[in-house]
Amino acid sequence: MKIVILSRNSKLYSTKRIVEAGQKRGHEMLVLDHLKCDILIEKRNPQLYYYGELIEGVDAIIPRIGASVTFYGTAVVRQFEMMKVFTTTESQALVRSRDKLRSLQILSRANINLPKTAFTDYSKDSDSMIKKVGGPPCIIKLLEGTQGVGVLLAETKSAAHSVLEAFQGLNARVMVQEFIKEAGGADIRAFVIDGVVVGAMKRQGKEGEFRSNLHRGGSATYIELSEAEENMALKAAKVLGLGIAGVDMLQSNDGPKIMEVNSSPGLQGIEAATGKDIAKSIIRYIERNAD
């Protein structure tokens, strides 16, 4: 098969690993920068061009779309869908997962356990928001933040007020979330592919850091999921319509709670922690589903 990875950097670990895995299984692997793709829309003849050359004969795509270019990246994925090309992440699922507020609303509607979350449109009544999530300490998140950027822990009411006031002054939309103290600065990422958890890791933030992101110096170790954690991860990926997902959970006294669902999860941390060939699982997913 001819498989295209939509990635802005062919040297990234995840991109390289998927290319290697596909080539080992005899597929033609191409890496295209989605921002360099031109979309041509006409009646019953959707087309894509890359540096002026028509893209054709593609059997499947693997979107690795960065959060900052979601709009155009999603348009490119949608164009491939119109060309009847199989995608490991559908355009609508990508849009849903990137909208943090919308994804939490969808998960909540599906009766999935979440940290208590408050959102308002530039309201000055920060007292009410803080109180609704159980008071300080609380987590304040930018809606557009990724990899732990724009996520703050406000340990006191005055600190929370200051942070909210600063964000409101910048016209930045934020959520206020319940702080799960018993998680101890750790979370779990379950890597879901085609309705199966293919690997899971526990990420621990460095000393003094409540965020567990590996990009922020956290460490990762292999973990065996409980039945509740596995079922929750699978359900979260399913209700958001994601064939590939990194489901981030917190361990709480009230059972696991979904923190976020990532539609373009990185492979480096999960492969190192589990010793599993996650890239191969992605290729096998395509082999099972692409015509």
Domain extent listing, the chain: 2-87, 117-179, 182-285
Residue bearing tokens 């973990």: 223
The arithmetic mean of pLDDT across residues 179-197, rounded, is 92
Q: Is 86 helix (H, G, I), strand (E, B) or coil?
A: strand
Q: What angle do CA 88, 93, 98 make, to 5 degrees?
A: 115
Confidence class for position 215, pLDDT limits 50, 70, 90: low
CATH top-level class for 117-179?
Answer: alpha beta
Q: Edge-to-edge strands of the sheet including 47-50?
A: 37-40, 47-50, 53-54
Residue 144 has pLDDT above 90, yes or no: no
Q: Give percent of the chain above pLDDT 90.
A: 66
Residue among 127, 102, 106, 104 nearest 117 (CA): 104
Cβ–Cβ contacts within 10 Å for residue 271, how many? Answer: 19
Is residue 234 scored above 90 in pLDDT? yes
Residue 164 has pLDDT above 90, yes or no: no
pLDDT at 210 over 70: no
- Dist. CA 240–CA 108, nearest whole Å: 11
Composition of the chain by helix, strand, coil, percent to 5 = 35, 30, 35
* CATH code given to domain 182-285: 3.30.470.20
Half-sphere exposure of 263 (CA within 13 A, CB side): 29
Q: What is the CATH number of domain 2-87?
A: 3.40.50.20
Query: Please, which pLDDT band fits residue 286 given cuts at 50, 70 and 90?
Result: very high
Query: Is residue 143 classed exposed, middle or buried when 0-12, 13-18 and 19+ CB atoms within 10 A define those classes?
Result: middle
First vs last C-alpha separation in the chain: 9
Q: How far is CA 64 from CA 160, 260, 266, in A?
A: 34, 17, 9
Residue 281 has pLDDT above 80, yes or no: yes
**Considering Cα of 248, then 172, then 175, then 209, what sign does the dihedral take?**
positive
pLDDT digits (tens, 9 = 90+) for 76-124: 999 999 999 999 999 999 999 998 899 999 999 999 999 999 887 766 6
Query: For residue 152, what pLDDT band results from cuts at 50, 70 and 90?
Result: confident
Task: In whole angstroms, give the CA distance from residue 16 to residue 10.
Answer: 6
The Cα 151–Cα 143 span in angstroms is 9
Picking from 203, 200, 268, 267, the residue whose alpha carbon sits closest to that of residue 234 is 200
- Name the residue among 260, 271, 258, 270 with its Cα closest to residue 67: 260
Residue 143: what pLDDT? 78
The pLDDT value recorded for residue 212 is: 53
Query: Chain-wide mean pLDDT for the chain?
Result: 90
Give the three-class secondary structure for 40. Answer: strand
9-64 pLDDT, tens per residue?
A: 999 999 999 999 999 999 999 999 999 999 999 988 999 999 999 999 999 999 99
